[in-house]
């Protein structure tokens, strides 16, 4: 019995999702919980598993198309059903416009007087057998998929394939941009790109048809519709039939095997591309540039991954060697997330060697490329702008700043850094200490762990500390949430923060990991700033910013001498932006003093294994 696949719930306040990539094609057999497609929202990109085992008989939502939560997106038939059963109707419709039927009677007319051609129909079923779903000539409509929460349209930034090109399932077809993300849209089916309905830099609504892909058996008609030059070759052949009327038998025999060689055409295309790639010197980059198929066979014996122009561009910008990047996409394809992860790993390695200058040069280089340019704001940047302005309109925001002496923590880090890194596999930074102190302070100051509903004139004090952590990614600012942070110790927080941060950069966050926060902490000092005035992440009522830890002379009281002395101490500024509708300045001050006392006490030996 057919099983309906619907767009699942994708997180708090998420009302729609965008199909970014189908991992299965019509006719493929799927198992329960096997990844079926990839979906994107304004919060996260995630894989959707199959709800049942069987055969994928219908795909109702094209890639890059946005649909509401609960909408039907595909149908899975029973294991006994075939793809032809689910796709019979489209196959019939697709067969109507196909000119193959018109060309078929032509050879038939020439073949009527020839009895020797009767055994030749036998090879005809042979080519149709390998492509059951496509031999009937079904055409797949490519539509703009859902691209995130509240996203209603997408912009085609670049077509990676041209009309007449052969495409494989899940092979990148085009690049699309929204206010949330720039992403590649893979082909929903194998065949020939017969029509491109949307030009580059053109914006269309979610669900709008943007291209048409013909079946692999429709390659000759597909190329006849779009690229006349390639099809000019098969057309003159029937014209030659009257010329070779004396020898009609070999001519039809050559005409029938023609569709067979046309099918393996994609394979030879990859081979010359591989040769050109070898001549170009760039194993992964040139393969994608020259072949379009992205298959790395023949150039990189270690992988069959392929890269797209977007991935190649990112790799060049970040100085990432694609030959050393392990692809996580379908068939080992190197995806944008893989490059960003590799770039982040390179940055981390550079920071370990030279903390200060590691990130500055790359950012300066990126900024330098913007000189003299005028361009439209990305959809993600527009979305961030709208939310920040909304927050300032909704909340009565004010900020308090205090300075904290973290010399004891600095000394603990010197003592335990190597041991902690060996035991936990993580560097021991200041940030987990700040996070732990903030979480502990929230327990005794619940006002800062609350939400105000102005319409209902209500305030809700949360009974759990879900700590949002601000992360600066290539896409923009994200705030993944450490759920139930109050139950974690220092090492637990460090692990969770590191994991969320890494997956924020690689696009591996789940929908629920970007929602449900009750309080947020932002590491303002990562860029060297002493402090900042962060904007509250709605609907929360406060956010804590941590500045850079710097050594400077400080006046201290010497209990032994009963006098004051000047000493070099490790100091940091903490800034708390809070909603004055609920939190008064005195409330904010008491919270900050609680955080300060915990940090200056420096009693973290037990967490570090030094007790």
Lookup: tokens for 586: 């005195």
Give 108-174 as a DSSP string: HHHHTT-GGGTTTTTTTHHHHTT-HHHHT--EEEEE----STT--EEEEEEESS-TT-EE-TT-EEE
580 is known as an active-site residue: yes
The H or E element that residue 222 is part of is helix 219-225
User: In DSSP terms, which residues pair with 290 in a beta bridge?
Assistant: none
Lookup: tokens for 134: 């496509």
**Contact present, 26 and 87 (Cβ < 8 Å):** yes
Residues sharing a CB contact under 8 Å with residue 525, sequence separation 6 or more, in sequence order: 531, 546, 547, 548, 549, 572
Q: How far, CA to CA in Å, does 412 sit from each of 166, 603, 605?
A: 61, 9, 8
DSSP letter at 56? E
**Contact present, 16 and 150 (Cβ < 8 Å):** yes
Beta-strand relationship, 66-68 and 16-22? antiparallel
The sign one gets for the Cα dihedral 80, 83, 86, 92 is negative
Beta-strand relationship, 550-558 and 16-22? unpaired
Q: Name the catalytic one among 64, 584, 587, 607.
A: 584
Closest CA to 567 of 366, 407, 400, 392: 407
Place of tokens 């692999």: 216
CA 128 – CA 530 distance, rounded (Å): 69
Give 72-107 as a DSSP string: EEEEEE-TT--HHHHTHHHHHHHHTT-THHHHTHHH
579 is known as an active-site residue: no
User: In DSSP terms, which residues pair with 141 in a beta bridge?
Assistant: 212
Please state the three-class secondary structure of 548-579 as a single string: CCEEEEEEEEECCCCEEEEEEEEEEEEEEEEE
Give 456: exposed, middle or buried? Use CB within 10 Å, 0-12, 13-18, 19+. Answer: exposed
Q: Name the catalytic one among 318, 462, 580, 587.
A: 580
Lookup: tokens for 140: 């797949």
Burial readout 318-341 (b: 16 or more C-beta within 10 A, e: otherwise): bebebbebebbbbeebbbbbbbbb
**Contact present, 90 and 100 (Cβ < 8 Å):** no
**Contact present, 490 and 432 (Cβ < 8 Å):** yes
CA 406 – CA 593 distance, rounded (Å): 14
Closest CA to 444 of 584, 573, 592, 575: 592
**3 state DSSP class of 14:** coil
CA 517 – CA 44 distance, rounded (Å): 15
Residues sharing a CB contact under 8 Å with residue 267, sequence separation 6 or more, in sequence order: none
Residues involved in catalysis: 580, 584
């Amino acid at each position: 019995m057919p099983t309906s696949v619907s767009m699942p719930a994708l997180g708090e306040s998420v009302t729609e999702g965008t199909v970014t990539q189908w991992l299965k094609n019509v006719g493929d057999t799927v198992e329960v919980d096997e990844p079926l497609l990839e979906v994107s929202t304004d919060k996260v990109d995630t894989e959707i598993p199959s709800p049942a085992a069987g055969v994928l008989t219908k795909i109702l939502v094209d890639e890059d198309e946005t649909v509401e939560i609960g909408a039907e997106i595909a149908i899975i038939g029973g294991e006994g059903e075939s793809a032809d059963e689910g796709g019979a109707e489209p196959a019939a419709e697709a067969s109507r416009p196909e000119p193959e039927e018109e060309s078929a009677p032509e050879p038939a007319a020439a073949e009527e007087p020839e009895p020797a051609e009767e055994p030749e129909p036998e090879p005809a079923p042979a080519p149709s057998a390998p492509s059951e779903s496509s031999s009937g000539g079904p055409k797949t409509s490519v539509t703009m998929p859902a691209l995130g929460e509240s996203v209603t349209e997408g912009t085609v930034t670049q077509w990676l394939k041209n009309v007449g090109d052969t495409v494989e399932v899940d092979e990148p077809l085009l690049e699309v941009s929204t206010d949330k993300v720039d992403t590649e849209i893979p082909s929903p089916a194998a065949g020939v790109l017969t029509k491109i309905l949307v030009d580059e830099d053109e914006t269309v609504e979610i669900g709008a048809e943007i291209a048409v892909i013909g079946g692999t058996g429709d390659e000759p008609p597909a190329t006849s519709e779009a690229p006349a030059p390639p099809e000019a070759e098969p057309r003159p052949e029937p014209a030659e039939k009257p010329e070779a009327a004396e020898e009609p038998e070999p001519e039809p025999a050559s005409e029938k095997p023609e569709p067979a060689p046309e099918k393996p055409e994609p394979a030879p295309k990859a081979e010359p591309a591989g040769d050109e790639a070898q001549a170009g010197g760039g194993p992964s980059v040139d393969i994608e540039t020259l072949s379009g198929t992205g298959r790395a066979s023949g150039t990189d014996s270690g992988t069959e991954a392929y890269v797209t122009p977007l991935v190649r561009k990112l790799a060049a910008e970040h100085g990432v060697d694609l030959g050393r990047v392990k692809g996580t996409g379908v068939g080992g394809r190197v995806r944008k997330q893989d490059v960003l992860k590799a770039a982040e790993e390179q940055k981390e390695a550079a920071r370990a060697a030279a903390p200060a200058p590691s990130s500055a040069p790359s950012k300066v280089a990126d900024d330098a490329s913007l000189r003299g340019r005028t361009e439209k704001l990305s959809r993600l940047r527009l979305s961030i702008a709208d939310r920040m302005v909304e927050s300032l309109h909704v909340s009565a925001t004010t900020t308090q700043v205090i300075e904290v002496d973290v010399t004891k923590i600095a000394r603990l880090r010197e003592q335990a850094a190597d041991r902690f890194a060996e035991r936990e596999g993580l560097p021991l930074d200041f940030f987990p200490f700040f996070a732990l102190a903030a979480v502990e302070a929230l327990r005794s100051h619940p006002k800062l762990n609350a939400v105000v509903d102005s319409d209902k004139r209500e305030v809700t004090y949360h009974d759990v500390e879900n700590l949002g952590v601000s992360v600066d990614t290539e896409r923009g600012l994200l705030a993944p949430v450490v759920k139930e942070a109050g139950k974690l110790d220092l090492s637990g927080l460090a692990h969770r923060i590191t994991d969320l941060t890494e997956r924020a950069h690689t696009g591996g966050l789940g929908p629920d990991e970007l929602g449900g926060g009750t309080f947020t902490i932002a590491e303002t000092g990562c860029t060297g700033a002493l402090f900042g005035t962060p904007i509250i992440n709605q609907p929360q009522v406060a956010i804590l910013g941590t500045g850079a830890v710097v050594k400077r002379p400080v006046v201290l009281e010497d209990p032994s001498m009963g006098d004051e002395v000047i000493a070099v101490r490790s100091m940091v500024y903490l800034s708390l932006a809070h909603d004055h509708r609920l939190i008064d300045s005195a409330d904010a001050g008491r919270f900050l003093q609680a955080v300060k006392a915990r940090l200056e006490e420096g009693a973290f030996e037990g967490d570090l294994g030094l007790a």
